[in-house]
Structure 1
């Protein structure tokens, strides 16, 4: 099957298609990111007769309307948006949305004597040698003859033939050809993505969420442009609350929408535990509403795809947009979002640095939204969400092929009680063999960002454990206030005894400890610094630690999963220490999981 056609079109034809809506510019990359000088250079290239590359369009499938007739699909630009947007700005005078989401005009001036383009500036506006805005030449309101006469009246000393020749070349820019690669409507997203990556010399990778966003934005009949903004703006506000005023000042139409009212709570929100990207938001909204996990299905459904008849129907497109809007509203709802974060924090994940897998967080939110929709008891929801989050982190459930796993899980959740499904997963993947053998083995790593170590720390936060050798300072405080991870067997001590980085940086050797305590421990072997601690307890001298009694010390070792044998250990015992501590850490994680 031929996957594409290649044609040359005049620039004026392309611009006419943009104006009529036959070509949709969906802003896959969202705001116009070119600076004005690149627009100037594009106009110069066209004037000089240089090629400006191909644009790639993917024709939407023809859709069956309610009366049975067919509506021909629009062409959606998937590559070349910046160039086409630049042309609409410079030639048609249309506003663009810049990277600050402001509507601005880009005005390009032309010097017919030097045949030179420049971005309009105050100096140019005072200089009659320039045509201040080339849009005037293309508007159709002024003929070439009048353009030349008006310019000659201002600059009588310039040869009129030279002026006419330059303006004639300028106006003929719209008669220049531009190549369009048009992809067949029956291609699936995977194929289109592959084609895009192979053609795009800049190595830009488009995700399926990009295509979903392009599909959403290009469907103005179903309010897709407003929905696309809602998704973008929410994600932006979640990271930068002060962006709220910017929207109010620069996008007054959107500021009047229900979407904006529903996300306005973000203007005073500084929580950074879950800052979703548009990819995350679309994935959660889609999966929770459609009971599907593949974003390619979302693009098909928004196009009106009937999976049974393999045709495209306008009613399916309308219903799909309504469902997606509902999913987005559920996602951005203040009560839902804050309650979900509260549940995540109640599992001990109080900082974004404790969660490496955004997909694990995404699916945990899907579980929350889905169970709430199904009317599950709120106390049960909290437990299920906590357990699923920790289970999926421990098993790396969404680290391989998240889409297919999302798809499988949401279908299971929709077909059987959640508790039953969770029990199946626990029986299969969190058996005694996992806790006693597999998990301790997984803790044998030097990677401080290991998800297993993060779960261990979350278990300490949930238990209100205190830092190593601390009387009052909690592990949670040390994590929140950017405390440091230190070594139980001091790094310098191990290094001097010939151990390399991968050996002394084992996570079983890591512990959250106050820096001032760590300084007093210094580079002594454990048996030496524990001797100091015991002496200070006898003398009631708290130079190293605030702990006063042997029982306090034993309790502190237990909550930090530090084997008591460490008090007599030196370099020869290091490997035995690591083995002992991994088992204790795994056991603590197991007990923690059971309490979720």
Structure 2
């Protein structure tokens, strides 16, 4: 293949001059994003010391319509060399040597600055220490512009800082050598592999993919975007532009572009990137969630012969174009955002999985554009699906596999609104079973993470139920609205204050103190007043100081899952009781999502539900020593030889990873759909299912 490329030396000075004039440009098969500043620093340091930094690859092609300029300034010369490999290094060098701003991955502009200490010959990303020190040249661009001027300026500054008329000759000589050596970085020679002009764009793209596949530096999404640059350049641009605009309001885009921008995809839940948009496009158009499979299909590669079939490639591209037209339609995106809001999610901090947002949009598009479900009906059914997916952490593990399962459920069905709604409803109902609400959810609320799916679902339920902040006339929904920016507003208050737990109950572990079942939403001023008093003291004082009537207080206590006489409970007893009540409130929020004629529960119904017997959690069984620490758990079906061990903290240790519930441990063992209590057998006096031991209230047979 010698006739397709040649080797040519390029100095750093030649390279940056070529970029500056526009002779060397960035092809659309790469995105114009640069390394982090620390990596740029390391590149300059390696060249300064004469270390190898890898070769570059260019393509001799003057077709400027397929290129993007490096940096954000305009170029004066048409392209003759397009960068195939080495874009990050070349962009970084250009930015540092010429002081040009570059685009970051969030589409913000940044000036990359690297500092240099000639006395120690060290490079650094500027910080407060280097900026205060006279021993540092703050920006090495000064050296590249004029080594003589940079040396004089540096020596003068050093003499003033040391209060000397003149530095000693040895120091001056060391500084001169170091600065001249830095200036010689411009003479550092790169070996450039130059592909000949006759090499096709598809071949260039294939070379790029092969190079980056070896280093595993790119994702399947990057490969698809590369492929799009060859076969549908406009489509890739649309994807990236949709993602870019999700970061700005129409007003901000209008100021930035000078054009009258009336709509952008910006939303309070998710800042999109090209990968997010691409996942929706291929899921809707090509019915594929794993992007690796989608890439192979788009290439038209026969899985048996491994040959490219152009006809198949064209068919897959047409499917992708169709999916993209639907995914990027503003009316579809705006309507889908109402689904997330309907599910009780108000801000990005409540989104526990970006994949839930992305794949939820794909399902919504299929329901709307293929099954013709009316918008209002689709919003309700998909809000329940979103709530289910979020609260169960559906896409927390193997998200592509899960999403493909969801897509497969819709294959080969009659394209009617009723069929789509039945499929989605069935999935929700079979996931959120009676046991799940009464057993699994309270278990999942055994956590100190306020960003866990279970706790954020509880907060979502409070917004759905129009609940008020505890001991306040403000609603939870209003206080976590995306448009509100209070200096201090609603906080998560420890119902049993931290200092009280430490000083009086001798509970010092953060995991126990910060249990979500020990936290409730209160106004900031109330949180300050509560301080570190015992609940039995501050609660009566707080209630007495409010003008909230008994009926309203009763509703608030139910919304915030406060058990009757909770201030008199032992701390662990309180946590157990409140988790169960939080699960019931969460379920009530889901009921309101599911029932257009929903009525709030009556006091009698609430009292009855709280008096129902509850099965103990795994943690409770361990702490009660019903299941002693060190006990082994094994799969009950005998098909696997996995062995898990119960830890002192009430966790399940499997393959050196701790899991909080039997469900999570079973899923980690490959049983995605299994009930963990039925999956594990506990080795006590005689083996028995965890579910059997639990049903007996923890008493062995």
With the length of structure 2 as denominator, give the TM-score of the two structures: 0.57
Is residue 33–residue 98 contact of structure 1 (8 Å, CA) maintained in 2? no
1:389 paired residue number: 386
Is residue 486–residue 512 contact of structure 1 (8 Å, CA) maintained in 2? yes
Q: Give the deviation of 1:378 after TM superposition.
A: 2.4
1:357 paired residue number: 353
Q: Give the deviation of 1:573 after TM superposition.
A: 1.6
Q: Give the deviation of 1:379 after TM superposition.
A: 2.8
1:112 paired residue number: none
Is residue 243–residue 272 contact of structure 2 (8 Å, CA) maintained in 1? yes
Q: Secondary structure at the match of 1:579?
A: helix
How far apart in 1 are the matches of 2:51 and 2:575? 66
Q: Give the deviation of 1:423 after TM superposition.
A: 4.4
Is residue 489–residue 526 contact of structure 1 (8 Å, CA) maintained in 2? yes
Residues 281 and 96 (structure 1), Cα distance of their counterparts in 2 relative to 1, 3 Å cut: same
2:334 paired residue number: 338
Q: Give the deviation of 1:297 after TM superposition.
A: 2.6
Superposition pairs for residues 258-277 of structure 1, below 5 Å? Answer: 265-266=263-264, 271-277=267-273
Q: Give the deviation of 1:432 after TM superposition.
A: 1.4
Is residue 291–residue 414 contact of structure 1 (8 Å, CA) maintained in 2? no
Q: Give the deviation of 1:277 after TM superposition.
A: 1.6
Q: Give the deviation of 1:505 after TM superposition.
A: 0.9
Instruction: Give the count of matched residue pairs.
Output: 467
Q: Give the deviation of 1:52 after TM superposition.
A: 4.3
Q: Secondary structure at the match of 1:513?
A: strand
Q: Give the deviation of 1:29 after TM superposition.
A: 4.2
How far apart in 2 are the matches of 1:527 and 1:88? 66
Residues 54 and 523 (structure 1), Cα distance of their counterparts in 2 relative to 1, 3 Å cut: same
Matched, 1:287 2:289: no
1:595 paired residue number: 592
1:530 paired residue number: 539
Q: Give the deviation of 1:8 after TM superposition.
A: 8.4
Superposition pairs for residues 139-178 of structure 1, below 5 Å? Answer: 178=193
Q: Secondary structure at the match of 2:520?
A: strand
1:439 to 423, 438, 441: 441
Is residue 6–residue 194 contact of structure 2 (8 Å, CA) maintained in 1? yes
- Note the residue ranges of structure 1 that are not aligned, 5 or more in a row: 58-75, 103-117, 128-169, 198-204, 250-254, 256-260, 537-543
Is residue 348–residue 462 contact of structure 1 (8 Å, CA) maintained in 2? yes
Is residue 562–residue 581 contact of structure 2 (8 Å, CA) maintained in 1? yes
Larger displacement relative to structure 2 (485-494 or 356-365): 485-494
Superposition pairs for residues 571-590 of structure 1, below 5 Å? Answer: 573-590=570-587
Q: Give the deviation of 1:353 after TM superposition.
A: 0.6
- Residues 301-320 of structure 1, C-alpha deviations (whole Å, 9 max, x = no match): 33233557653233443443
Superposition pairs for residues 110-121 of structure 1, below 5 Å? Answer: none
Q: Give the deviation of 1:519 after TM superposition.
A: 2.6
Residues 319 and 520 (structure 1), Cα distance of their counterparts in 2 relative to 1, 3 Å cut: same
Larger displacement relative to structure 2 (477-486 or 391-400): 477-486
How far apart in 2 are the matches of 1:88 and 1:468? 57
Q: Secondary structure at the match of 2:480?
A: helix
1:311 to 307, 312, 335: 307
Q: Secondary structure at the match of 1:414?
A: coil
How far apart in 1 are the matches of 2:101 and 2:310? 30
1:448 paired residue number: 450
Q: Secondary structure at the match of 1:484?
A: strand
Q: Secondary structure at the match of 2:565?
A: helix
With the length of structure 1 as denominator, give the TM-score of the two structures: 0.66
How far apart in 2 are the matches of 1:447 and 1:177? 51
Superposition pairs for residues 127-526 of structure 1, below 5 Å? Answer: 178=193, 195-197=214-216, 205-217=217-229, 219=230, 222-224=231-233, 226-241=234-249, 244-245=253-254, 248=257, 265-266=263-264, 271-306=267-302, 310-374=306-370, 375-416=372-413, 417-470=419-472, 472-480=473-481, 481=484, 483-497=490-504, 498-500=506-508, 501-526=510-535
Q: Secondary structure at the match of 1:486?
A: strand
Q: Which has the higher contact order (CA 8 A, sep 6+)?
A: 1
2:692 paired residue number: none
How far apart in 2 are the matches of 1:351 and 1:272? 5
Q: Secondary structure at the match of 2:493?
A: strand
1:563 paired residue number: 563
Q: Give the deviation of 1:300 after TM superposition.
A: 2.3
- Note the residue ranges of structure 2 that are not aligned, 5 or more in a row: 20-24, 59-81, 110-139, 150-185, 196-202, 414-418, 594-701
How far apart in 2 are the matches of 1:88 and 1:27? 19
Residues 193 and 421 (structure 1), Cα distance of their counterparts in 2 relative to 1, 3 Å cut: farther
RMSD (Å) for aligned C-alpha atoms: 4.8
Of Structure 1 and Structure 2, the greater helix share is in 1
Is residue 286–residue 298 contact of structure 1 (8 Å, CA) maintained in 2? yes
Q: Give the deviation of 1:177 after TM superposition.
A: 5.6
How far apart in 2 are the matches of 1:301 and 1:516? 59
